[in-house]
Structure 1
Amino acid sequence: MKKIVLQLFMLVLTAVSLMAQTDDELNNSVFLSDEYIFVEGIDNWNIVQFGYERRMNSLTLISRLQYADRLGQNGTFLSFIGYPEFSENSYGYVNLGFSPDDSNLFPELRFSSAFYHSLTDQLVGGAGFQYTKVPGEDAFVANIYANYYFGNYLLLIRPSYLIDDSNSSFSGAVSLRRYYNSAKSYGEFLLGAGRSIENSTVEDAFQQTYLNRIAALKLDHSLSDEWSLQSSLTLSRNDFSSGTERNQFGVRLGVTRNF
């Protein structure tokens, strides 16, 4: 099954590349990353990600394959992402992802969409939603986005409202990004809190996540026009309805090649 999935993924990448031919200079990227997540009290995560990105005049397409190893099993998740540009001040986001196996390491299905509009030269607003299906449960999330640019900084605010089969709750995240010599070189610090349905997919299938708190530090650095590096450190704490508490710490390293 996994061999078929990988062959299908490579076929899609080839088709996307052929369909994306334009009269302009080609804008392509391939990226590879490896993330290791240390989880208190249970097995750790290892997640490898490979993807292809194609940038065109008014559309960016991304295909991504994730492979995870945990609890003596492995699983894959395929995502297809699009960023259509509607006008000089408006653009959208569409993401469709699914897990082709029954490992339960990833959601069975995830679909999200959003619309963004530049309200001023410094402020971008947006709204969107996400649908996630995990074993035995469905969840809908309504999102609002606010991006505020000032100097070399970008402030991102993300309030959300989650509705699933059991209850509903608010969550949110705020991050501050500092750009350096280009849009591909920046450092970012993020804080967030709320309930995540995906946290209970594997390690606590019998519980519900009551509260997830996260702090993350991200650093992207452009080495040249062709190469860039990505890294992140993530610390989070999950409180479950049964009273269980778990801390986890993640380290991610990645590389991108533009051509």
Structure 2
Amino acid sequence: MVNILNIDNMKRVLTILGAFLLITHATSVAQKQLSVDQLYEKARIAAFDEGDYKKARGYAYSALDRSPNYHGIRIFVGRLFSWEGKYQKAREELTYVLENDPDNREALLAIIDVENWSGNQRKAMQIVNRAINYYPEDNELLLQKASIFYKLEKYEESEEVYKKILRSSSANREAREGLQEVQLKQMKYKVNVSYRYDYFTDIFDPWKFSEFGLTRQTPYGSIIGRIQYAQRFGSDGTQFNLDAYPSITEGLYAYISGGYSKSSIYPEYRFGISLYKSLPSSFELEIGMRYLDFNTSQTDIYTASLTKYSGSYLFTLRTYLVPSQARSSKSLSLIVRRYFGSANSYLSLNGGFGSASTTTDIQFPQDIQTLDSWSLGIDGQYPLSERLFIGGNAGYDSSEYPNFTRKRFSFKAFVAYRF
């Protein structure tokens, strides 16, 4: 009985194996009956209509077995590998073509893409320059060159190539859009003007604040000069500030700030420093301190924050610690920001609580003398154009002091212009 079952199983296996061999043989015969061009057409259908790159390469290699110097098919195979991120295999196929046909335009374009996509922009630039020697007025190659210059952060060179294309082809949309993008990237200055009005439910008269700022982008980070003017407690005063965000190394940058004022309503001197470190999984850690000198007293403030970037959202959790011999103060705040298409268009919600200020702009003695405080706010920015931005914020906070509770509504508007 067992032998009969074994014989039946062997028959089934042999039947399946035979069917497989017949199908394979039939497929091989069918492919041999097709012409090289027909195999190429089937390869393109498999790739573009079916999205099956492996099947497409099977047809393509069958064609190349019969016609190894059919460069169009080999370039197609190289493109397939590059679309899958298999850059070394793509290089091998395209290099074969260029060794036999050095000025093959399609092979040159394809291998430029391979080097560009794999992050080898300098190698891509070498190849594009070689290609332009063969085809000096080829706009597609010139667009590649401008794009590579842009990735190498050589914006002036990129701009010149785009302008060259537009001199001969003024309607070239890619060149016009590329030129606009690279010109925006070269805008090194931003000027902003803001006004803030604080209204108190009792005790205090309104406070008013104005600010003028100028930002300069440099290869080492941004530098910001600010002039602040305030009206508080029946007095007014001006404070001068200089802020910088120097880049230290990849994934690490700093914030350095200093300010001076002769007015009694501002600190005479203020200094600040923070370090920002990028972490895995789109996190960023900040640690820093602030120093305020009010002439009659000095205050150290320590801060730390953890930021998470998730798609179009940003989440920042921040704490402040103000050491004191009598009683240390601390606070915790959260910011949730939603971006709309770019970093220049966003809306934020924020809130915090604690015995220190829950805002990021601590600069008055009252900000660090509270017993208990909490705040809620909303802010945003909207680009009217690539150069012009408007924005503002509104908030409410309640701060408890030894003899009273201060309740405040705050409103701020600003306009900024890049050039």
What's the TM-score bracket when you normalise by the shorter of the two chains? 0.7 to 0.9
The answer on 1:229 being equivalent to 2:390 is yes
- In structure 2, the partner of 1:63 is 225
Partner of 1:217: 378
TM-score (norm. length: structure 1) = 0.83
> Which of 299, 310, 313 is the aligned partner of 1:150?
310
| Residue matched to 1:126 | 286
Matching residue's letter, 1:124: E
The aligned counterpart of 1:39 is: 200
Aligned position for 2:336: 176
- Is the CA contact 2:192–2:213 (under 8 Å) kept in the aligned structure 1? yes
* Distance in 2 of aligned mates of 1:198 and 1:39: 18
* 2:242 maps to 1:95: no
Q: Distance in 2 between matches of 1:38 and 1:65?
A: 22
Instruction: Tell me the amino acid that sits aligned with residue 375 of structure 2.
Output: I
- The offset of 1:164, in angstroms, is 3.6
Q: How does 1:108-119 map to 2 (within 5 A)?
A: 108-119=268-279
| Contact 1:233-1:251 within 8 A present in 2 as well | yes
Q: State the shift of 1:184 in Å.
A: 1.0
Post-superposition shift, 1:89?
A: 0.8
Instruction: Give the direction of change, closer, same or farther, for the CA distance of 1:198–1:113 in structure 2 (3 Å limit).
Output: closer
1:17 equivalent in structure 2:
none
Cα 1:208–1:141 shift into 2, 3 Å: closer
Q: Output the amino acid matched with 1:217.
A: I
1-structure distance, mates of 2:363, 2:417? 30
- Structure 1 residue 135: deviation in Å? 4.7
Q: Give the aligned partner of residue 254 of structure 1.
A: 414
Q: What's the TM-score, normalizing by structure 2?
A: 0.52
SS at match of 2:248: coil
Larger fraction in helix: 2
For 2:391 and 2:283, the matched residues in 1 are separated by 26
Asked if 1:239 corresponds to 2:392, the answer is no
Q: Which has the higher contact order (CA 8 A, sep 6+)?
A: 1
How many corresponding residue pairs?
231
- Distance change in 2, residues 1:38/1:69 (3 Å): same
Larger radius of gyration: 2
Q: Distance in 2 between matches of 1:115 and 1:55?
A: 19
Give per-residue Cα distances to partners, 1:133-180, cap 9 Å, x unaligned: 225322111111111011100000112211145421221211100000
What residue ranges of structure 1 are gaps of 5+ in the alignment? 1-21
| Pair 1:106 & 2:106 matched | no
Separation (CA, whole Å) in 2 of partners of 1:201 and 1:187: 28
The 4+ residue runs of structure 1 with deviation greater than 6 A are none
The SS at the match of 2:319 is: strand
Q: 1:188 touches 1:217 (CA, 8 Å); kept in 2? A: yes
Contact 1:210 1:239 in 2 (8 A): yes
Mean Cα displacement is larger for which, 159-168 or 222-231? 159-168
Identity %: 26
Give secondary structure in 2 for the equivalent of 1:76: strand
